[in-house]
């Protein structure tokens, strides 16, 4: 939205500009557009970092909860191999729970 607004503002300025000033105006507008694009990239990077930090905190919370519940193999870690193992354990638990609920329905 910000880029579109800037584009329309630039277009209006170019229409009102005298022909001999047009190259200067276009150069200034190009610099302004590049600055806006840089700002957008920086804001996106900051948002991505914030999301990653929030996800990391969710993982730590989950590990802590499962460790306190006494679920074997769960403890707070940032080791990628251990995290993969924990994810696989969670998937196994989910599948076992799904099978159990399906077999319970068959006997009902």
Same domain, 25 and 56: yes
Same domain, 44 and 7: yes
Task: Tell me which residue range forms the domain holding 103.
Answer: 76-107
Same domain, 2 and 31: yes
Burial class (CB in 10 A: 0-12, 13-18, 19+), 5: exposed
How does 49-75 read in b/e, with b if 16+ C-beta sit within 10 Å? Answer: eeeeeeeeeebeeebeebeeeeeeebe
Look over the chain and give the mean of its residue pLDDT values, rounded to a whole number.
89
pLDDT digits (tens, 9 = 90+) for 2-52: 778 887 887 888 777 777 777 887 888 899 999 999 999 999 999 999 999
Same domain, 55 and 23: yes
Same domain, 53 and 17: yes
Q: pTM (2 decimals)?
A: 0.64
């Amino acid at each position: 939205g910000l880029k579109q607004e800037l584009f329309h503002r630039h277009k209006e300025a170019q229409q009102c500009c005298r022909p001999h000033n047009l190259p200067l105006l276009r150069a200034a507008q190009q610099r302004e557009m590049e600055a806006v694009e840089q700002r957008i990239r920086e804001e996106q990077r900051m948002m991505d970092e914030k999301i990653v930090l929030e996800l990391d905190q969710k993982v730590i919370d989950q590990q802590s909860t499962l460790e306190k519940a006494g679920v074997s193999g769960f403890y707070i870690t940032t080791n990628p191999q251990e995290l993969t193992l924990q994810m696989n354990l969670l998937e196994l638990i989910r599948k076992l729970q799904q099978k159990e609920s399906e077999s319970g329905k068959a006997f009902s």
